[in-house]
Each structure stands twice: as C-alpha cells, then as structure tokens.
Structure 1
Amino acid sequence: MTNTRTLGDLSTSAIGFGAMVLSPGVYGDVDDDRGRRALRHALDEGATLVDSSDGYGPDGHNERLLGSVVREWDKLGRRDEIVVATKFGFLVPGGVARHSFPVAYEFGELAVNAEPRHVRGYAEASLRRLGTDHLDLYYPHYPDPEVPIEDTVGAIGELVDAGLVRHIGLSNVTADQLAAAHAVRPIAAVQVQWSMWTPVDPDFLATARRLGVGIVAWGPLGTGFLTGTVTSVADNDFRANIPGFADRHLAADHDRFAPVRAIAAAAGITPGQLALAWLLHQDEHVVPIPGSRTPAHISENLAAAAVSLSADQVADLEAALDGVSPSGTVRLL
C-alpha cells in the first residue's frame, strides 16, 4: 500500500495527523511542550497532512501551537513538506458568532458564523497564528444554517485567487451541500467522521467519489475506542459527555468488538492499526487523521499505512462488523 494519497489534486501522506488532541479541554490536560514534541514526531515520521482549526482551544491555541512548529520547518527550508489544513467559523473567537443551534449531546450550543464577509478575516488570523503565507487546505468547520454553502465557498475561492489558500475543503456537510459547493469551486477534500465505530452514509461517499473529492476521515479510531485500550474517561475529557463512553456502554461495546480485536491479533497488528488499514482499504482517496500526544502511538498509527489486508481478512472483518451497532454512539461535530 502506498504511503501517499491524493485529495482532489492535493498530494498528502496516506495517514495524516489530527492536531485537536494537542489543545486543552479536549482529552484532558496537555502542555505545549508535549504538543510540540508530538507534532515534530508526526512530521519526522512522514505525516505531511496536519489538521487544525481556529476553534480548537482558547484564542486559536491549536493554530498557534502548530504555527510554532511550522516556523521551525520554514527556517529549515521544509515548509512545503507540510500540508497545513485548518478550519474556520466554529466556536468563533473574537465574539462574531452570529448563529448558535442546539445539538443532541450535552455540549451546550455550537456557535457558527460562515458569512462570506468574515472569511478573509478568519483566514488572515489563521495565517498569522500558523506563521505561514498560505493555507494548503482550508475548510468551513461547519456549514452555517443561515448562509448557502455556495456563498461561503465563493468567499474561500477569492482567497484562492489571492494566493492565500491552495485548496478548498468542506467539513460536516451533506451530500447535497458537497455537490452544490463543488459546482461553485473545485472541492479537494471533505472531512467526515468515519470509522468502524461510526459508519458514513453510502450516498455521501458515492457523491464524493463521483465528484472526485477526497475524504479526510476524522475520528478514525472512534475517538480512541477502537484502540481497545479505553476503559474509562476522566471528567475533564470531552468524551465524558458522549453516551458511548459511559462505563456501561464501554463495557458492552468492548465485548461487541472482541472479534475485531481477534482479527488484529491474528494479523500481528494492533486494533488501532487494523481500524486505520480498514479505512485505507475503503477507497484510495481516503486519508485518516488520527491524533495522539504520544510519539510511540503516533508511530504505530502511521505504520498502518504499510498494512495490506488480504481478501480473506477483509471478509472476516466485514463479517465481524456486520450487525455491530455500538451502544450510545453519538455523532460529533
């Protein structure tokens, strides 16, 4: 299996790195030194696509953290080796959030503002924090219910024309929104929650394939569940608010997914590597973005790009997954 893939006409590593885990208030406490070490290790190990957002952590924390490492690589003449991807308009810093809407889990309300008049300002702020003169991949984090997606994408297109953005992405959209946006400007990638624990809509996948849009799979390890190592979560971990991570559900799902772990053991790989290899097997234009703070786990994740599943292994895995419906799973945003 190749270690590179394409999202539209954007070339990236087959497995990227989701930087959300490096900001406080997500998976418990974390310090910036540890975060920088994790980022450096991911890049050194070949994870060229690094995914961030202006809404991860307070006051653009995640972008500032990533920016400190991007500047290091820029000084080494290696900036072009990093595909810097970031998102905007969700939990907007600076008080410009215009619209909020309730969601089906206990996170309060989500604040969204993807009005075209704000898009350039978002991008310029991200560029400053990231320490770069262009964004390789830029997404609206979530579609604004009061703004046609075509209008938001049109505003990003102006940034492409100005040389501030190289490729346009979408995140958390429907198949219809993807098609409408792609009719305005070419969409390189669409980010969607996808794992063996959180299946994706087949019609959505079919639309992305028809349009030639790559898939960036976030939460590819089921926010940690598919590693087989999560038995409980701390109160300051955002997963404590997800029904699927309640102790009673974790125990039940651990049993349900035992056959999957057995397949991984027989193949001589970890359950997490099997989960990533399974995603890579789904389509040649899928790039999972697992996140981790631990160098050993980062290396383990990236090594999954070299795992080739046989037809028999895939058949066994599909049989093990058939009818498995995790308890209390809630789709995140």
Structure 2
Amino acid sequence: MATTTQQIIPHVALGNQGLQVSKLGFGCLGLSGGYNDPLPEQDGISVINHAFSKGITFFDTADAYGANGANEILLGKALRQLPREKIQVATKFGVSKGQGSGFTGWTIKGSPDYVRSCCEASLKRLGVEYIDLYYQHRVDTSVPIEDTVGELKKLVEEGKVKYIGLSEASPDTIRRAHAVHPITAVQIEWSMWTRDIEDEIVPLCRELGIGIVTYSPLGRGFFGGKGVLENVSAASSLAFHPRFQAENLDKNKKLFERIESLAKKHECTPAQLALAWVLQQGQDVVPIPGTTKIKNLDQNIGALSVKLSEEEVKEISAVVPIDDVAGGRHFNGLDQSSWIWKFANTPPKVST
C-alpha cells in the first residue's frame, strides 16, 4: 500500500444520493492507449498512485478501455497499493466488442443479463467487492431503459454496485431511468468548445439532483498547449477527429490563441484556465481529465487554485463562441459511442 502522505483536494457531493468524490477526478482511458500508445503497466500504476498522493480519489475507467479489459486490470493493480475505502471507482458497461476483426460485431448492449455479466467481469478485473459508480456507457435503444436500470437496481440491492450512472444519455432517457432508480451521475463531454449540454442536460440534472461528470474537459488535449496542436501524430486517434484536421485545426488555433492571452492575465496556463472554467460551472460538476504525464497531472491539479468570478467565467465563454468552433465533437461525425475507438474510420455496429 502506498505510504505517500496524501494531499487534500476538496470532496463534493456527486448527486444527492450520498456519493462523495474528489472535486477533480482522473480519467484512466489514456493509460491504455485511448489516444496514443498505451503506457507500460508500471508507468500507468505510477500515474494513478501519484494522482492519489495529490488528493485525487475518483478514478474513471470502463470495460471497453484497452484490449480485454486492460484498463480495469491496470486500475485494479493500482488499487492494491492504495486504501480502497478512500477510493471511488467508476466503471462502465454497454460496449460489446464482439468476436470479429476490426469493428465487426461491435454493438451497444443494455439487456439485463448483459448488465449482470459485465458487472461480474468488472468486479473480477478490478479486484474489488463493489463498484462505487457504475455507468451505462452508451444507451442501447433496442432495450427499454427501464429494463437496464431495473437490473442495475438489483445490483445495488445486492451490494455489488453503490451508485448508478448514465453516459451520453438523452433528457428523456435520464428522466425515465431516474424514475426506476435514482441516477447519481451523468457523464458527458463538456468543455469550453463543447457546450451542447447546457440547454437541456444540465438543467435536468439539477432538477433531479444528479451530478455531472465531464469527460474531455480540455477538449481532448486541445487546450493543453501549442505542442499538442502542432504535433498531432498520424498514429494518434486525434488524427481522425474533425476538430484536429486540416482547415478546422487552423481555425481552431485562433481560439487557443484567445485563451492563451486570457491565461496570461490570470497567471496560469491555457490548460489550467480551460479546466478552471469547467470546475467553476458548479459544485455538482466534476471533471475527469486524463493524462499519461505526471507534469500534466500536476498542472491539472493546479487548476483548482485558479479562482474565477462570475464575470470572468462569462468573459472566457465569450472568447470561444460555440459557432466559431470548426468541426463536430465526434470522431469523423460518428455516433456518440465513437470517441472510444482508436483509429476509427468506420462506425461500430450499433443496436437500433
């Protein structure tokens, strides 16, 4: 077990069902090659341990991350070195990779028997007795959400899951799911250049007492700095993202320059300003940026010290008008499940 003295990051209530998490979480996807090559296992474990030593206790993974559940296995090995009672583990089910090559047979699934089998498999890979927050990764439109959440409710009653969540769900789905069993959190993309959840999803979550977990709060690294913008490798999945391609990237670089100028005013980095903007959206908002580099992790944690007034938040929002963002938020314009596929040229097969 790690002996490093843990620093303090404020904990907040995620939803109104009792779950407390660190105000800043950690998205583990990148450790297993979500955007570039995966880290060696021990390096990945070291990043997780460092995050915990700095006060992050909320770790996000999924059964679809990495080959054969590699990301859950990695997190599980890291957990064996940490005090389990102080960690909040979030994982997801719902993406079935199938048996074919490439994307052949890949589907979105939400049937009760599939929910249960995925939960059992994740518990084993993680090496834990319970999952703190269990999300449906993407909604299976061929299965009534009431059936899916009904099985999740049973898992809660059995003590295998503490709280349940949804990811990239519609307002109607969220409301229907919440009527079966309280939804603790909705995970969805939210950043300075992805703000489509603000009109309906955010107000609904606040009406129902549901926490908001934001993935890609740094725009998939866009706000990380010029080094990211100028070195999008052909081997990276970002090479297939519309906002990082050709003319779109050239246009979007102008947005970065505006943020870079504001960051100087606030005496922080562009990444810290972008992350601080998300953090300031409310106490019910918990971003889960990921990184493979300790220095970037420390920089992200530094965003918690960047305090913005309401007027300053509005000023930052105004310099990145959503209409000025070039390119859609999904890889190659694919459906909402597409962001997890590395090198996705064709969409996975999705149940309809």
Q: So what's the TM-score if we normalise by structure 2?
A: 0.86
264-273 vs 284-293, greater mean Cα deviation: 264-273
**1:104: which partner in 2?**
none
**1:207: which partner in 2?**
204
Instruction: State which of 167, 172, 175 in structure 1 corresponds to 2:171.
Output: 175
**1:101: which partner in 2?**
none
321-330 vs 239-248, greater mean Cα deviation: 321-330
- SS, match of residue 65 in structure 2: coil
Q: Is the 8 Å Cα contact of residues 98 and 107 (structure 2) preserved in structure 1?
A: no
Identity %: 40
Q: In the TM superposition, what are the counterparts of 1:169-318 in structure 2 within 5 Å?
A: 169-201=165-197, 202-229=199-226, 230=228, 231-318=230-317
- SS, match of residue 202 in structure 2: helix
2:134 alignment partner AA: Y
Whole-Å separation in 2 of the counterparts to 1:270 and 1:109: 43
Distance 1:250 1:185, change over 3 A: same
197-206 vs 127-136, greater mean Cα deviation: 197-206
**2:344: which partner in 1?**
none
Q: Is the 8 Å Cα contact of residues 195 and 322 (structure 2) preserved in structure 1?
A: no
> Structure 1 residue 161 and structure 2 residue 160: aligned?
no
Per the TM alignment, residue 66 of structure 1 is displaced from its structure 2 partner at its CA by: 0.3
Whole-Å separation in 1 of the counterparts to 2:139 and 2:264: 40
Instruction: State which of 11, 23, 40 in structure 2 corresponds to 1:4.
Output: 11
- SS, match of residue 55 in structure 1: coil
Distance 1:323 1:156, change over 3 A: closer
Instruction: State which of 106, 109, 112 in structure 1 corresponds to 2:108.
Output: 112
1:159 alignment partner AA: L
Q: In the TM superposition, what are the counterparts of 1:30-69 in structure 2 within 5 Å?
A: 30-69=39-78
Q: Is the 8 Å Cα contact of residues 238 and 244 (structure 2) preserved in structure 1?
A: yes
Whole-Å separation in 1 of the counterparts to 2:174 and 2:104: 27
1:309 alignment partner AA: L
- SS, match of residue 253 in structure 2: helix
Whole-Å separation in 1 of the counterparts to 2:328 and 2:224: 16
Instruction: State which of 88, 93, 100 in structure 2 corresponds to 1:88.
Output: 93
2:11 alignment partner AA: T
270-279 vs 158-167, greater mean Cα deviation: 270-279
Q: Is the 8 Å Cα contact of residues 232 and 245 (structure 1) preserved in structure 2?
A: no
Q: Is the 8 Å Cα contact of residues 192 and 317 (structure 2) preserved in structure 1?
A: no
Per the TM alignment, residue 93 of structure 1 is displaced from its structure 2 partner at its CA by: 4.9
Unaligned runs of 5+ residues in structure 1 are 98-106
> Structure 1 residue 126 and structure 2 residue 122: aligned?
yes
Q: So what's the TM-score if we normalise by structure 1?
A: 0.90
Whole-Å separation in 1 of the counterparts to 2:267 and 2:306: 10
Whole-Å separation in 2 of the counterparts to 1:256 and 1:14: 27
287-296 vs 2-11, greater mean Cα deviation: 2-11
**1:103: which partner in 2?**
none
- SS, match of residue 21 in structure 2: strand
Aligned residues: 318
**1:151: which partner in 2?**
147
Instruction: State which of 4, 23, 31 in structure 2 corresponds to 1:14.
Output: 23
Distance 1:323 1:141, change over 3 A: closer
Per the TM alignment, residue 94 of structure 1 is displaced from its structure 2 partner at its CA by: 6.2
1:59 alignment partner AA: N
Question: Structure 1, residues 277-298: CA drift from partner, whole Å, max 9, x if none?
Answer: 1112112100000000111111
Distance 1:13 1:221, change over 3 A: same
Per the TM alignment, residue 109 of structure 1 is displaced from its structure 2 partner at its CA by: 8.3
